[in-house]
Each structure stands twice: as structure tokens, then as C-alpha cells.
């Protein structure tokens, strides 16, 4: 029986090529202009302390054999002198430097050749590996790596990194710094819970969240065993709360005492685990302070970018908008929203052979994993916290869609909405933004939670106000005016701070009210 075949004539699956290779890596016009024998390719295989490079023409004739260069200034200067001499001897009229991406070790080499005025390209290691394995599958050396880098470059896979300004570079640094600290803090919490169970079995179940209760981790620091807690009694626990300057309900202390009187016998190495719990908790507290500090730095750079407009979406907070801006980069680098999802690899893998042509149902393996992760986090948050996305998610679930497919659809929808909001110059009205809290109101709340100084808050709000379209500025002016009126009639530190900040911010929100543009709801039924 003949197997059933499927054909899909979808624009999403068709890929029209005008030339083999990546568009930004094509060298053919330059090669035709000067001739292949006069076009040079410098291939560089980077390592931590040294690199290996060679020069060849477009035909693959080696002009400078593989040469090792140490990563210090004198060796780099010597390499540039050798390269210039070879260019003169072999009459090379045009040149491209192809450097294999190797963590961060390739950056010093890339900066040297870029600073010398050469067109420097970056080759992804997975691409050079494919070209190397095509010729030397079972032989991996630095010389064969150079051949793979050369073949990748002439095939159009040596790409130029888009330039980033200092704002986006700093935004990416603090975003990734915060994400790294969050991961380490999560690991510390898991270890604390594990070791706490060894020294005080069942104690953590006295609390909904042991890390949110201020008294929870003070008790193990003071009392070594459940018997010691039971002997201290209610008076001892009350005194501990007073010494630690924490407020705790009486029923919480009674719950701890009830557990201590019936607690099982702890592990024989309980004293050692108790010391480890105290040490790990100190580390956790330090890292949580560093997370707060990173978020303060993050918001100071986010307000200088148009990505601050994403706060108009219910479910998108300052941290998530900052992470998306950090991984996506300047919006001018994207011609359409589909370029964002394409860079993130949010499209299905395709299998086509003869009459068989279908998507495999799984996502493409290639793509920027960090950008994809942020898009999926945004999709998960929007499906839970945004009414519009919640309705879409429920509709897709009723249609029998897989939960993973629903999240990918939501991520693609968010990318399209975000592209219009960030790149647009007019007001943007979308069902996902209806009844949304004001952008500046979210920022004010964020600054209050993080206890940021009033002068820094005022500066950040003013920067954010300049990033908003005119129509959004008019809306923000109305909402902030209402908040200012409410603050004038209230007392307390919060209202006093608002009375000092909001008048200066409202000055940046002047101007005529612009017309809002109603978004096109294409694809809502998909």
C-alpha cells in the first residue's frame, strides 16, 4: 500500500532563496568585482590563550599556512604585519576575516582585526563543524577546523554581528546577571530545604513558604533540635522574635511548638546539617540583595529604550520587559515581527522529499535560545495573567491543541504585538492592552517596592515618558494627574514622594492628544 503523503502550500513553509547562504554573509558580488584569486579569506580558530589562523584566496590556495598567535598585544601586532605583507605579496584587493565564535574567547581576536580596518565576520561553531566533518569526519584538529571555517565563510555563513549601543549592552549584562543570580538562589533554596529536613524533620511544613516567613529560618539558627524548641516554649520563641526584630503571629509560634513536641528523631549528623543550613541561608540572603540591586540597574537602562511600552500589556512587568529588550536588542534590526520569531527558532522543522512535504511538529533546533526562552516565559505569563491571551489559550485548548503548541502560538502572537508597540510611532490599541495599568504607574510601583531614591525615580520616569508615543503620553497624563490629585489629599511617605515626583513627570507628557490606531486582529481565529 502506498504511504499517504501530505502537501502543505503554506507561506510559512516555503523558503524562497535568491542565493545559497545567509544574505548578510554572501561574498559573491565582492569576489566578482576583484576576481577570486585576488579575494582573501582569513580563517581564525580561537582558544582561550592562543588562536590559529591562515590566509587563503577564494579558490582555497593557502597563502599563509596555519600560524599560532598568542593573545597578547605584541603577537597581535606581529600577526597584522605578517597579514599586510602577504596581502601585498599576493596582490589581495579585498579581504574578509572569518572568526569562529568560541564563548567569549574570540572577542579579543575579533576586536584586533576590526580595529585594523578589516571586514570581520563570525562563524558559528556548529556551521564550521558541519563543513569540517564533510571532509574529515574522524579527524578533528586545529588545521581541519580552519578548513571548515574557510568553507563556511565562502558559502555565505560568515556573518556580521549587528552593532549595539551602550544602553542595550548594559541592559543585557544586568538581565543575564539577574537571571544567573535567580538560578543560583533557586538552587540554594532547594539545598536549604533538603538539609533542613535532615536536622529538623517536618519543620518546613509549618509554613506555606519557609523563605517568606521571617521567623522560619531564625529558629534553626538558635535551636539545634526539636527538643530544644519544645523546652524553650512559647516564651523562648517570642523572645527570639523580639531579638530578631521580626513580627510573627502567635498561632505561627503555637504551630511550631506543636510540631516540636511530636517531631521525629533527627539525623545523626543533624548538627553538621544545621551549620550548613545557616551558611547557605546567609548566601541566599546575599544573592537576593544582589538580585534587587540588579533589578534597579535594569530599570535604569530599560527606561531609555522603547521597550518600556510593553508595560502596557497586563502580565508584562519591568523585569520581563527588560529581559526581552536585552535579548532582542534594538528593534531597528528587525524588518518584521517574523524576523524576531525566526531568530528565536519559533517555527516548525520541515521534512520534504519528493511528494512528501510536511512540518514535523517540533520546533527548529537552531535559533537564539535566550531569546526563545524569554518569549516562552512571556507566553506563559500572558496566558495566565492577560485576559485576551487567556481567552485565546482556552479557545486553542478546546480545539484540541497541545499545551506546548499553545505556548508557541502565544509567544508568536506576543512577538507580533511587541514589534508593533516598540517600533510604532503612533498609539497602539490592541485587545490585549485594554483596561491595562498605565506604564508609568507600573514604574512607580516598581520603584516603591525596590525603595529607589526619589531623584532617581523622577529621572527614570521622565526618560520613560519620552519613549512613549504621543497618544500614550496623553493617556498617561490623565492617569498620572488623577494619581497626583489623590496624593495631594493623602498623607504618608508614599503620597509625599508622589507629590514631589509627578509634577516634573507631567511636564514631559505635554502635547496634543494623538489619534490611536486600532490594531488588525488578523489570525485571531487561527
Number of CB atoms found within 10 A of residue 83's CB: 23
pLDDT at 113: 96
Q: Supply 65's cell numbers.
A: 599556512
Place of cell 498623607: 491
Looking at 318-469, list the stretches that DSSP marks H as alpha helix, in order from N- to C-terminal side.
Answer: 318-328, 337-344, 369-385, 387-398, 403-423, 439-449, 454-467
Q: 389 vs 379, 382, 404, CA distance in Å? A: 8, 6, 15
pLDDT of residue 491: 60
| Contact in structure between 54 and 43 (CB atoms under 8 Å) | yes
pLDDT, position 436: 54
Residues of the chain with pLDDT under 50: 1-14, 511-526
Angle at 386 between CA 380 and CA 389, to 5 degrees: 70
Is the dihedral angle over the CA atoms 470, 312, 371, 387 positive or is it negative?
negative
Class of the domain covering 23-157: alpha beta
Q: How far is 271 from 277, CA to CA, in rounded Å?
A: 10
Q: Exposed (0-12), middle (13-18) or buried (19+): which is 355, by Cβ within 10 Å?
A: exposed
Grid cell of 51 as nine digits: 588562536
3-state SS assignment for residue 45: strand
Which of 297, 302, 298, 284 has its CA nearest to residue 183? 284
Look at residue 497 in the predicted model and tell me its pLDDT. 64
Domain ranges, ordered by start, for the chain? 23-157, 191-287, 303-426, 439-518
Amino acid at each position: 500500500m502506498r504511504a499517504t503523503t501530505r502537501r502543505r502550500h503554506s507561506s510559512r513553509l516555503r523558503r524562497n532563496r535568491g542565493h545559497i547562504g545567509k544574505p548578510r554573509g554572501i561574498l559573491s558580488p565582492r569576489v566578482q568585482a576583484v576576481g577570486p584569486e585576488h579575494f582573501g579569506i582569513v580563517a581564525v580558530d580561537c582558544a582561550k590563550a592562543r588562536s590559529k589562523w591562515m590566509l587563503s584566496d577564494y579558490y582555497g590556495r593557502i597563502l599563509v599556512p596555519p600560524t599560532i598567535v598568542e593573545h597578547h598585544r605584541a603577537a597581535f601586532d606581529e600577526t597584522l604585519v605578517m597579514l599586510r605583507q602577504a596581502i601585498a605579496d599576493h596582490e589581495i584587493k579585498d579581504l574578509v576575516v572569518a572568526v569562529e565564535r568560541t564563548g567569549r574567547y574570540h572577542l579579543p581576536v575579533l576586536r584586533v582585526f576590526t580595529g585594523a580596518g578589516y571586514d570581520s565576520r563570525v562563524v558559528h561553531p556548529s556551521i564550521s563543524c558541519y563543513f569540517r566533518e564533510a571532509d574529515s569526519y574522524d579527524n578533528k584538529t586545529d588545521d581541519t577546523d580552519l578548513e571548515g571555517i574557510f568553507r563556511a565563510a565562502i558559502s555565505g555563513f560568515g556573518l556580521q554581528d549587528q552593532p549595539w549601543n551602550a544602553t542595550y549592552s548594559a541592559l543585557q549584562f544586568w538581565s543575564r546577571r539577574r537571571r544567573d543570580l535567580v538560578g543560583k538562589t533557586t538552587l540554594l533554596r532547594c539545598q536549604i530545604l533538603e538539609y533542613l529536613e535532615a536536622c529538623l524533620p517536618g519543620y518546613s511544613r509549618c509554613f506555606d513558604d519557609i523563605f517568606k516567613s521571617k521567623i522560619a529560618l531564625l529558629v534553626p539558627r538558635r535551636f539545634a533540635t526539636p527538643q530544644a524548641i519544645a523546652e524553650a516554649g512559647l516564651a523562648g520563641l517570642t523572645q527570639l522574635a523580639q531579638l530578631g526584630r521580626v513580627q510573627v503571629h502567635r498561632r505561627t509560634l503555637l504551630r511550631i511548638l506543636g510540631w516540636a513536641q511530636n517531631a521525629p528523631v533527627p539525623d545523626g549528623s543533624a548538627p553538621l546539617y544545621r551549620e550548613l543550613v545557616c551558611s547557605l541561608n546567609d548566601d541566599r540572603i546575599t544573592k537576593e540583595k544582589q538580585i534587587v540591586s540588579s533589578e534597579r540597574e535594569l530599570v535604569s537602562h530599560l527606561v531609555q529604550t522603547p521597550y518600556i511600552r510593553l508595560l502596557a500589556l497586563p502580565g508584562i512587568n519591568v523585569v520581563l520587559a527588560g529581559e526581552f529588550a536585552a535579548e532582542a536588542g534594538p528593534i531597528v534590526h528587525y524588518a518584521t515581527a517574523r524576523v524576531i520569531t525566526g531568530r528565536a527558532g519559533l517555527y516548525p522543522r520541515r521534512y520534504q522529499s519528493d511528494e512528501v512535504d510536511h512540518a514535523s511538529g517540533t520546533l527548529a533546533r537552531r535559533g537564539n535560545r535566550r531569546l526563545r526562552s524569554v518569549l516562552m516565559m512571556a507566553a506563559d505569563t500572558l496566558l495566565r495573567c492577560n485576559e485576551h491571551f487567556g481567552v485565546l489559550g482556552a479557545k486553542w485548548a478546546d480545539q484540541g491543541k497541545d499545551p506546548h503548541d499553545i505556548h508557541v502560538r502565544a509567544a508568536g502572537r506576543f512577538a507580533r504585538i511587541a514589534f508593533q508597540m516598540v517600533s510604532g510611532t503612533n498609539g497602539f490599541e490592541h485587545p490585549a492592552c485594554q483596561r491595562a495599568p498605565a506604564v508609568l504607574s507600573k514604574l512607580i510601583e516598581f520603584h516603591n517596592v525596590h525603595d529607589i531614591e526619589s531623584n532617581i525615580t523622577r529621572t527614570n520616569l521622565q526618560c520613560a515618558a519620552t519613549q512613549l508615543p504621543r497618544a500614550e503620553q496623553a493617556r498617561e497624563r490623565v492617569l498620572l494627574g488623577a494619581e497626583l490629585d489623590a496624593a495631594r489629599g493623602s498623607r504618608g511617605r508614599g503620597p509625599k514622594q508622589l507629590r514631589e515626583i509627578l509634577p516634573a513627570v507631567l511636564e514631559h507628557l505635554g502635547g496634543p492628544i494623538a489619534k490611536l490606531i486600532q490594531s488588525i486582529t488578523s489570525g485571531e481565529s487561527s
